[in-house]
């Protein structure tokens, strides 16, 4: 790699189509009348382009396959300029790989807005799916409806998506889907559901820098109650493992979040405001599948909790839960109506090094949950490996602040999972996996910003790269 390199970020390249391949235009007056027609002839590297206006719903596409070097893109001119309207579902991609869907709006579906799953011939799941700036609105009439659902998908990224104003049972539902990132998404105005659910054996999933507001049931549900046939793999034995919820804002949801049939999951550096039932629930609801493991070794750390006077209970612990394996520390609890009643009843869970009864001093208590310089949350957090950025994308400076926002705006190195069009980095138990459509070099840094080295990668998939708990930037040759 030549020393003269250029750092290229995703935001600069999102709008570019694949360098090679055809553009298949979709619309009532175009060569392809709907998405299914274009997908039937699409090849690796092609772009399926929806013209402005309303498009057909209930589009089932099977076997849409790009390659690591030539992704298939389904897109439109700008966010929400193409609307898929009505029907039971908007778009369903089954058994697909190396596909990106972006900018499309799904509106008024009764069952689901957008689905990626494994329907079709047995033995194959979807993988390497990238969803950006998709919007789902005003739907969910059916029982069990969802805004966005991923079933048995491996290696995926859901970025900047919105699920809003509907009766969805889940805004985003991740079912048996592993090694994924949900970032910078907003789920709001759900009249009967959860913002996001990560369940049925899902593992190594990050829910990062998102906002969940006015969800009738719960903001973030790690775990849940799944049918035995939903689990991937079928014998995984746990609803959710190794998931991370961090730098999120949860506002005016009945329950903030849950650890429900989870192990080694963390809720770190989040801000919870206005929860009315519980800040979080802990335990295992799914008692219907023999051998399913109970919740153990979860962490609730560095969170700001601002709650009203009337709250059902600060936490809910389900019967039979061993609370001794769970960690709670460095949280800030504030009863906004009666500050002297801020100490939470944690039902036997031991909490350490936390702050009670002090106003976190938000920039705007109603709308802006950044913290002011004099906030008692500044510098009171504890380091947590793998959690690098606050809600606004700034790197945490140690000792970090409590809550979703870091007070100190200075930044040395920041993490980017999607670093460039066609280049992604995801973590798993063996370190990091690099997927790239071109030759790249990646600089690696420790959490103090110290350079650890550079790795070079040809186009393809590379596993076991560097250990977890580091940050990176991608370098593209001129």
Per-residue pLDDT reduced to its tens digit, 24-69: 999 999 999 999 999 999 999 999 999 999 999 999 999 999 999 9
Taking 70 as the threshold, does the pLDDT of residue 412 lie above it? no
412 close to 395: Cβ distance less than 8 angstroms: yes
Per-residue pLDDT reduced to its tens digit, 57-106: 999 999 999 999 999 999 999 999 999 999 999 999 999 999 999 999 99
User: Can you list the pairs that 26-29 forms with residues at least 24 positions away whose Cβ atoms lie under 8 Å?
Assistant: 26/50, 26/51, 26/55, 27/51, 27/53, 27/55, 28/53
- High-pLDDT (> 70) share of the chain, %: 87
Q: What is the pLDDT of residue 433?
A: 82
- Average pLDDT of span 234-246: 95
Q: What is the pLDDT of residue 1?
A: 37
The label of the residue with tokens 């708990």 reads 469
98 close to 71: Cβ distance less than 8 angstroms: yes
Reported as a pLDDT band with limits 50, 70 and 90, residue 158 is very high
User: Pick the residue with more confidence: 400 or 386?
Assistant: 400
- pTM of the full structure: 0.84
Which H or E run includes 38? helix 35-39
Q: What is the pLDDT of residue 456?
A: 87
User: Pick the residue with more confidence: 387 or 51?
Assistant: 51
Most confident range, picked from 12-21, 111-120, 194-203, 414-423: 194-203
Taking 50 as the threshold, does the pLDDT of residue 477 lie above it? no
Per-residue pLDDT reduced to its tens digit, 97-131: 999 999 999 999 999 999 999 876 556 789 999 99
Neighbours of 123 (CB within 10 A): 7
- Average pLDDT of span 386-390: 88
Q: What is the pLDDT of residue 7?
A: 30
Over 433-462, what HEC string results?
A: EEEECCCEEEEEECCCCCEEEEEEECCEEE
| Cα 331 versus chain centre, distance | 22
Taking 50 as the threshold, does the pLDDT of residue 419 lie above it? no
User: Pick the residue with more confidence: 235 or 272?
Assistant: 272
**Mean pLDDT rounded to a whole number for the chain:** 88
- Kindly give the pairing relationship between strand 440-445 and strand 471-477: antiparallel
The span from the CA of 181 to the CA of 141, in Å, is 28
Reported as a pLDDT band with limits 50, 70 and 90, residue 474 is low
- Average pLDDT of span 342-367: 94
Q: What is the pLDDT of residue 90?
A: 98
Q: What is the pLDDT of residue 12?
A: 34
Neighbours of 22 (CB within 10 A): 16
Q: Left, alpha or beta for 140 (phi > 0: left; psi -120 to 50: alpha)? A: left
The span from the CA of 47 to the CA of 43, in Å, is 9
The span from the CA of 302 to the CA of 332, in Å, is 8
Q: What is the pLDDT of residue 461?
A: 84
Half-sphere exposure of 197 (CA within 13 A, CB side): 30
Strands (E), 274-383: 278-283, 299-301, 304-307, 315-317, 327-329, 332-335, 351-352, 355-356, 362-364, 368-371
Reported as a pLDDT band with limits 50, 70 and 90, residue 414 is very low
- Average pLDDT of span 374-399: 91
474 close to 5: Cβ distance less than 8 angstroms: no
């Amino acid at each position: 790699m030549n020393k003269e390199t250029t750092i290229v970020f995703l935001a600069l390249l999102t709008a570019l189509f694949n360098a090679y391949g055809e553009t298949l235009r979709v619309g009532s007056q175009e060569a392809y009348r709907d998405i299914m027609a274009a997908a039937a002839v699409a090849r690796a590297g092609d772009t399926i382009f929806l013209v402005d206006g309303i498009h057909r719903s209930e589009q089932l596409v099977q076997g849409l396959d790009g390659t690591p070097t030539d992704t298939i893109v389904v897109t439109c001119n700008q966010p929400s300029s193409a609307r898929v309207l009505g029907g039971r579902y908007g778009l369903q991609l089954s058994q697909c790989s190396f596909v990106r869907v972006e900018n499309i709006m799904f509106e008024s579906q009764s069952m689901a807005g957008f689905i990626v799953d494994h329907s079709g011939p047995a033995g194959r799941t979807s993988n390497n799916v990238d969803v950006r700036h998709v919007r789902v609105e005003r739907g969910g009439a059916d029982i069990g409806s969802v805004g966005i659902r991923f079933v048995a998908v491996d290696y995926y990224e859901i970025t900047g998506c919105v699920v809003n104003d509907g009766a969805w049972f889940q805004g985003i539902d991740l079912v048996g889907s592993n090694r994924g990132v949900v970032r910078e998404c907003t789920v709001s105005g759900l009249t009967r559901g959860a913002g996001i659910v990560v369940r049925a054996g899902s593992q190594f999933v990050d829910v990062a820098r998102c906002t969940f507001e006015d969800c009738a049931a719960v903001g973030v549900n790690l775990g849940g109650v799944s049918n035995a046939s939903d689990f991937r793999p079928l014998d995984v034995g746990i609803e959710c493992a190794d998931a991370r919820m961090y730098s999120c804002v949860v506002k005016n949801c009945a329950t903030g979040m849950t650890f429900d049939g989870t192990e080694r999951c963390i809720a770190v550096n989040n801000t919870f405001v206005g929860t009315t039932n519980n800040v979080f629930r802990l335990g295992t609801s799914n008692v219907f599948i023999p051998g399913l493991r109970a919740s153990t070794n979860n962490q609730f750390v560095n969170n700001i909790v601002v709650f009203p006077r009337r709250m059902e209970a600060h936490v809910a612990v389900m019967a039979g839960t061993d609370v001794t394996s769970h960690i709670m520390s460095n949280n800030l609890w504030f009863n906004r109506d009666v500050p002297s009643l801020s100490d939470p009843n944690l039902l036997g869970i031991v909490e350490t090094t936390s702050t009670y009864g002090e106003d976190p001093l938000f920039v705007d208590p109603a709308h802006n949950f950044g913290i002011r310089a004099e906030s008692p949350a500044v510098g009171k957090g504890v380091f947590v490996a793998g959690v690098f950025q606050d809600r606004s994308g700034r790197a945490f400076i140690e000792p970090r602040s409590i809550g979703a926002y870091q007070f100190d705006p200075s930044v040395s190195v920041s993490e980017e999972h999607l670093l460039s069009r066609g280049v992604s980095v995801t973590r798993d138990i063996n370190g990091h996996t690099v997927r790239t459509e071109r030759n790249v070099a990646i600089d690696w840094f420790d959490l103090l910003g110290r350079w650890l080295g550079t790795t070079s990668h040809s186009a393809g998939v590379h596993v076991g790269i560097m250990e977890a708990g580091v940050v990176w930037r991608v370098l593209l040759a001129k």
